[in-house]
Amino acid sequence: MKKCVLLLVVLLAAAVAFSGSVGAKEWKMVRIGTEGAYPPFNAIDKDGKLWGFDVDIAKAICDAVGLKYEFVVQDWDGIIPGLLAKKYDCIVASMSKTEERMKKVAFTDKYYVAGARFVAKKGSGIKINKEGLKGKTVAVQRATVYDTFLRDKYAGIVKIKQYATQDEANLDLVSGRVDLGFAEPIALTEGFLKTDKGKGFELIGPMFSDPKAFGDGVCIAVRKEDNDLRELLNKGIKIIRENGTYKKINDKYFEFDIYGD
């Protein structure tokens, strides 16, 4: 009788282990949601091809763990709903891991860190404090951590104008419809200040990097039930960090280490 019970326990344990391994091995193909409107992280060129740091990192992670992949372009303000609706299996779109987002989705380990700064016309003389910002109009991309931060910290002080994409926010800054922009400084520098349209503008004020507001790094989002995929992607992040692939991609886009401490 004891032998039968022992055999049953062994068989059950083996079944659990086998089912877990099968679940992980089911991920042969992954659909990756990204915005395609946030250079140099993810954007679409004149030929309709996706490019950017996020895109290259996603490809490298998938290659490292033997996953085939395809990209799905999705507007930013619908990107988490699209994941939950199973339009794609993960989001690689410079998404910060925040407590609010963690209520809806799960996140991998970080693949870089982000902060926030204001941008304004050169010589504007605007001071980044409550008095200096009073009555100013600030452009920000809708449904981002930057949008949330402005509403939390400067509500009733600044006028917040929201946009579907960062590029639209930048264009209104150039046209003079707003006084300042507020976004991730790397995206502002590489995607705006280094372009012809951004030549007359500059970053002003301090770097904002409070983890409570801006999260614990930029990560890949997955559905909460897809923990096996999350672990597989974490494995990929670790591999490309250790084998030099991450550094090659980093150096392709930036002159500094974007990964952070």
Does residue 170 sit in the same domain as residue 128?
Answer: yes
CATH number assigned to the domain comprising residue 70: 3.40.190.10
C-alpha to C-alpha distance for 18 and 220, rounded to whole angstroms: 27
**pLDDT value of residue 26:** 85
Instruction: Report how many domains make up the chain.
Output: 2
Whether 126 and 120 have beta carbons less than 8 Å apart is answered as: yes
Note the pLDDT of residue 108.
Answer: 98
pLDDT by residue, tens only, the chain of 261 residues: 434 444 443 344 444 444 444 444 589 999 999 999 999 999 999 999 999 999 999 999 999 999 999 999 999 999 999 999 999 999 999 999 999 999 999 999 999 999 999 999 999 999 999 999 999 999 999 999 999 999 999 999 999 999 999 999 999 999 999 999 999 999 999 999 999 999 999 999 999 999 989 988 999 999 999 999 999 999 999 999 999 999 999 999 999 999 987
198 lies in some domain:
yes
Q: Are 231 and 109 part of one and the same domain?
A: yes
To the question of pTM greater than 0.95 for the whole model, the response is no
> Which domain range does residue 168 map to?
116-214
Query: Based on the domain organization, do 127 and 192 belong to the same domain?
Result: yes
The verdict on 39 and 107 lying in the same domain is yes
Residues 82, 171, single domain; the answer is: no
Residue 82 placed within a domain: yes
